């Protein structure tokens, strides 16, 4: 964005200023002799900064320092020039409520690369100075890509670990170093096994098998080892869902050092998928204390995904409190928080940037502001007044795009236009329709041309075998009812989410069926006892045998086919891709490969769909949804230039963890009570996921309850905003594959 600054003499401006004369005062008007006009050359807004003639040379440095920062606050005003008069000393058009330095990156990949670069720079600087480099390391899903990038640098020969000493934050207590879930194992798999020049004696991880009577001494020795190494140069942290860092749970003292801790139930729930059940998660751990962490010379805190948005905001914008241990980082002189767009979506700069200062008002931000205001005041959109806007930091919006009733009508119309009974689109033809159909037309005119759906080919991409019906079962059924050729592609098998007792039940059926029909083969008779014996001796988290994985896969296949059939999708249009990245038998997955992308590309080319629906959940705690979405985006990049793709629409759905907000949604499909019943019936066909899913995440409700509650809540919210009242609604966001895309491109809507 080009900027320019120049000085000018102005007359006495001690007169009232209003939108009529094109000048808005954000400070008390004063007599100005000379000022500088800093203006965005691509918009009609400027900042008027008073200066003295004698200060003019110095002011150029001032403009150079502030212009890059200032450009973020310039408004795109179409009708007239808006000038903000500010004092030179306080010129800062885009302030924040953040109490700690914070950087926001487009996605997790970009963020992880940035962190890896900082680690590499720290290591190289220490090497150049002839010193040891002491690193504090974290575990969990957050730093995996950082370690992957460091390994890449090392293998390419640009990074040596010869002078590196590491101290890990924590370890579960009572767990063996070679156990699948141990942090010793984690660090070996993701980093240390790939580093060829690091002295193993420089690797330090708390001992989870220290005798209980010796734990305190072990913790003291761990502290002493850090001190002896010279202290930690760079400490990496992840952010727990309740704000913990390391295993320092809520209520941990600021002065705590390395110690034994009892794990919060939320922490254990979040770890349940790694241990194949909450009951297998250790109840205790050894962790560096908050005081230990804060002694590091540099600290980086990372967070990904919308499920971290709320706690990230509390960490950087809230008060320092032991109830959010990460908030203690506000005291550190050299700590930074690094977020992706999704995890930054709870910050004030994203939720309500207008309270921080001037913003660039586009249609999306106006819609968000109006909906926010209506919800704040518990009013419908059309009842909002100029006074409501003025009293809630939105007077600027009224002045440049108002009055209030004009803004209200525009936003109301935008929301109304997203509601459709025809997700597959519609073609108008001559004729009259009944009142039930015309009620869904924009003008509700029963004499209007009836909208008749035009048959299309549709692909619904489902990361797991139940995501299609959980997230868009109502829309799926509607598409089938309207005669569209609907295909569902199940991207992964979901086999690891099947309980052993479900597999045993199916094996029992197979044995009994073979007995009564006389069709049981000798090979099957030999395999079944072996599988049962394996299950009987199986340890928590142990990987299933290939045959048991196949049995669990078949269970998910049959459930998915049955559920899709409830919605009207015939069995021959159910496609099971079994993407290789998923097939590890564990929660940890492989990297996305060209083979994964090729499976999706081949499906698209074979079906040549007019519409594609994909899961846009950015809060997936296990990462499979995000990986599946990334595969779809990359596949779209490969096929979008082909002639058949012209006019193809791509919609992103949600529902497993969150729902799209009204300001985000581009299409909302309403459901009646009977539509909702059909959707729930389809979800019930996934028997292995009902009652108690193996990996439910932090939400303990069953999936059908989550779906029902979310869909009802969306409909209720639209009704409160003044839109028609429906039983339930499913919301979708349109994705444009012709724009530069990345995994979290949709999250950037909140930052436009």
CATH code of the domain in which 242 resides: 3.40.50.1360
- The answer as to whether 426 is a domain residue is no
* 741/685 same-domain check: yes
* 178/302 same-domain check: yes
Domain holding 466: CATH number?
3.40.50.10320
Nearest residue to 302 via CA among 268, 336, 345: 336
State the Cα torsion 467-468-472-474 to the nearest 10°.
-130
Residue 527: per-residue pLDDT = 86
- The answer as to whether 650 is a domain residue is yes
Long-range CB pairs of 713-721, under 8 A, 24+ apart, other chains included: 713/659, 714/659, 714/662, 714/668, 715/670, 715/671, 717/375, 717/662, 718/415, 718/419, 718/662, 718/668, 720/374, 720/375, 720/378, 720/380, 721/371, 721/374, 721/375, 721/380, 721/381, 721/412, 721/415, 721/662
* 165/265 same-domain check: yes
Question: Which position has the higher pLDDT, 7 or 21?
Answer: 7
Task: Provide mean pLDDT across the span 667-688.
Answer: 96
Task: Provide mean pLDDT across the span 72-94.
Answer: 32
Which entry of 249, 306, 485, 730 is annotated as an active-site residue? 249
- The answer as to whether 235 is a domain residue is yes
* CA–CA distance, 570 with 485 (Å, rounded to integer): 10
Match 């140069």 to its residue by tokens. Answer: 233
The mean pLDDT value of the chain amounts to 82
Which residues form the domain of 671? Answer: 456-498+538-751
Question: How remote is the C-alpha of 659 from its chain's centroid?
Answer: 12
Cis check for the bond before 534: say yes or no (omega within 30 of 0).
no
Task: Provide mean pLDDT across the span 635-662.
Answer: 92
Give the confidence band of 357 by pLDDT, cuts at 50, 70, 90: confident
| 421 given a catalytic annotation | no
* 460/585 same-domain check: yes
- The answer as to whether 310 is a domain residue is yes
* CA–CA distance, 448 with 422 (Å, rounded to integer): 16
Task: Provide mean pLDDT across the span 636-660.
Answer: 91
* 390/475 same-domain check: no
- The answer as to whether 593 is a domain residue is yes
pLDDT in tens, 135-165: 999 999 899 999 999 999 999 999 999 999 9
Of 274-278, 308-312, 614-618, 672-676, the one with minimum mean pLDDT is 274-278
CB 566, CB 559: distance < 8 Å: no
What six digits make up the tokens of 158? 């640009």
* 216/333 same-domain check: yes
* CA–CA distance, 703 with 657 (Å, rounded to integer): 9
Task: Provide mean pLDDT across the span 290-318.
Answer: 95
pLDDT at 76 over 90: no
- The answer as to whether 645 is a domain residue is yes
* Other Cβ atoms within 10 Å of 146 Cβ, number: 25
* 83/159 same-domain check: no
Domain final position from 90, 116, 139 = 90
> What residues are paired with 48 via a beta bridge?
37, 85
* 153/234 same-domain check: yes
Our count of domains for the chain comes to 4
Share of the chain above pLDDT 90, in %: 64
* 86/173 same-domain check: no
Buried b (16+ CB within 10 A) or exposed e, 447-458: ebbbbebeebbb
Residue 539: per-residue pLDDT = 83
* 55/129 same-domain check: no
What six digits make up the tokens of 668? 């909302």
H/E element holding 723?
Answer: none
* 298/270 same-domain check: yes
pLDDT in tens, 551-603: 999 999 999 999 999 999 999 999 999 999 988 766 567 788 999 999 999 99
pLDDT in tens, 202-246: 999 999 999 999 999 999 999 999 999 999 999 999 999 999 999
* CA–CA distance, 543 with 539 (Å, rounded to integer): 9
Residue 656: per-residue pLDDT = 64
Domain final position from 367, 387, 404 = 404
Buried b (16+ CB within 10 A) or exposed e, 16-36: ebeeeeebbbbeeeeebebbb
CB 82, CB 61: distance < 8 Å: no
Classify residue 491 as exposed, middle or buried by CB count within 10 Å of its CB (0-12, 13-18, 19+).
buried
* 166/31 same-domain check: no
- The answer as to whether 430 is a domain residue is no
Domain final position from 348, 379, 394 = 348
pLDDT at 126 over 60: yes
Residue 526: per-residue pLDDT = 74
pLDDT in tens, 401-421: 989 999 999 999 999 999 999
- The answer as to whether 26 is a domain residue is yes
pLDDT in tens, 525-541: 678 889 999 999 998 77
What is the Cβ-side half-sphere exposure of residue 481, based on CA atoms within 13 angstroms? Answer: 13
Share of the chain above pLDDT 70, in %: 78
């Amino acid at each position: 964005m080009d900027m320019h600054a120049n000085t000018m003499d102005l007359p006495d401006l001690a007169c009232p200023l209003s939108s009529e004369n094109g000048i808005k005062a954000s400070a008390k008007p004063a007599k100005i002799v000379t000022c500088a006009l800093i203006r965005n050359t691509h918009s009609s807004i400027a900042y008027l900064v008073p200066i003295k003639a004698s200060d003019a040379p110095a002011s150029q440095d001032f403009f150079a320092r502030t212009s890059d920062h200032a450009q973020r606050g310039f408004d795109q005003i179409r009708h007239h020039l808006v000038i903000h008069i500010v004092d030179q000393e306080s010129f800062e058009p885009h302030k924040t409520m953040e109490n700690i330095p914070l950087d926001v990156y487009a996605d997790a990949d970009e963020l992880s690369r940035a962190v890896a670069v900082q680690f590499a720079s720290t290591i190289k600087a220490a090497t150049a100075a002839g010193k040891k480099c002491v690193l504090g390391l974290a575990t969990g899903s957050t730093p995996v890509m950082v370690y992957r990038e460091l390994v890449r640098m090392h293998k390419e020969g640009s990074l040596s670990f010869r002078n590196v000493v590491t101290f890990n934050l924590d370890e579960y207590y009572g767990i063996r170093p070679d156990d699948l879930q141990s942090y010793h194992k984690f660090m070996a798999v993701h980093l240390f096994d790939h580093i060829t020049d690091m002295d193993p004696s420089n690797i330090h991880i708390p001992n989870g098998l220290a005798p209980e009577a010796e734990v305190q001494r072990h913790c003291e020795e761990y502290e002493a080892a850090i001190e002896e190494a010279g202290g930690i140069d760079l400490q990496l942290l992840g952010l727990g869902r309740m704000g913990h860092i390391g295993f320092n749970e809520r209520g941990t003292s600021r002065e705590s050092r390395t110690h034994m801790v009892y794990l919060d139930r939320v922490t254990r729930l979040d770890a349940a998928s790694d241990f194949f059940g909450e009951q297998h998660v250790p109840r205790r751990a050894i962790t560096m204390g908050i005081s230990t962490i804060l002694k590091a010379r540099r600290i980086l805190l990372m967070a990904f995904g919308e499920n971290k948005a709320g706690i990230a905001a509390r960490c950087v914008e809230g008060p320092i409190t032991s109830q959010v241990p990460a908030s203690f980082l506000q005291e550190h002189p050299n700590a930074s928080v690094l977020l992706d767009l999704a995890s930054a979506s709870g910050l004030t700069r994203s939720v309500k940037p207008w309270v921080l200062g001037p913003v660039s008002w586009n249609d999306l931000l106006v819609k968000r502001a109006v909906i926010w205001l209506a919800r704040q005041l518990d009013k419908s959109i059309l009842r909002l007044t100029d006074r409501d806007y003025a009293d809630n930091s939105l007077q600027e919006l009224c002045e440049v795009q108002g009055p209030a009733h004009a803004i209200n009508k525009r936003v109301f119309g935008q929301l109304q236009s997203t509601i459709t009974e025809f997700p597959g689109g519609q073609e108008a033809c001559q004729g009259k329709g009944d009142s039930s159909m015309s009620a869904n037309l924009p003008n509700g005119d029963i004499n209007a041309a009836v909208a008749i759906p035009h048959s299309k080919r549709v692909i619904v991409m489902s990361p797991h075998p139940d995501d299609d019906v959980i997230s868009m079962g109502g829309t799926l059924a509607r598409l089938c009812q309207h005669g569209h050729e609907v295909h569902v592609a199940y991207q992964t098998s979901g086999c690891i989410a099947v309980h052993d007792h479900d597999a045993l039940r199916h094996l029992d059926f197979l044995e009994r069926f073979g007995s009564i029909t006389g069709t049981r083969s000798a090979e099957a008779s030999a395999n079944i006892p072996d599988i049962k014996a394996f299950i009987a001796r199986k340890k928590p988290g142990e990987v299933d045998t290939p045959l048991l994985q196949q049995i669990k896969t078949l269970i998910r296949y049959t459930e998915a086919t049955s559920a899709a059939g409830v919605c009207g999708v015939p069995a021959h249009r159910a496609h099971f891709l079994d993407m290789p990245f998923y097939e590890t038998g564990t929660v940890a997955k492989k990297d996305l490969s060209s083979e994964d992308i090729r499976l999706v590309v081949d499906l698209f080319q074979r079906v040549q769909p007019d519409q594609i629906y994909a899961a846009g959940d950015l809060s997936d705690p296990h990462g499979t949804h995000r990986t599946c979405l990334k595969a779809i985006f990359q596949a779209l990049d490969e096929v979008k230039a082909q002639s058949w793709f012209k006019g193809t629409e791509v919609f992103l759905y949600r529902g497993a963890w969150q729902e799209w907000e009204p300001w985000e949604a581009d299409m909302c499909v309403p459901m009646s009570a009977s539509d909702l019943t059909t959707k729930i019936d389809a979800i019930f066909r996934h028997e292995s996921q009902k009652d108690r899913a193996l990996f439910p995440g932090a939400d303990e409700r069953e999936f059908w309850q989550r779906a029902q509650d979310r869909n009802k809540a969306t409909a209720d919210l639209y009704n409160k905003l003044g839109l028609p009242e429906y039983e339930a609604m499913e919301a979708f966001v349109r994705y444009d594959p012709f724009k530069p895309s990345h995994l979290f491109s949709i999250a950037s809507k909140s930052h436009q």
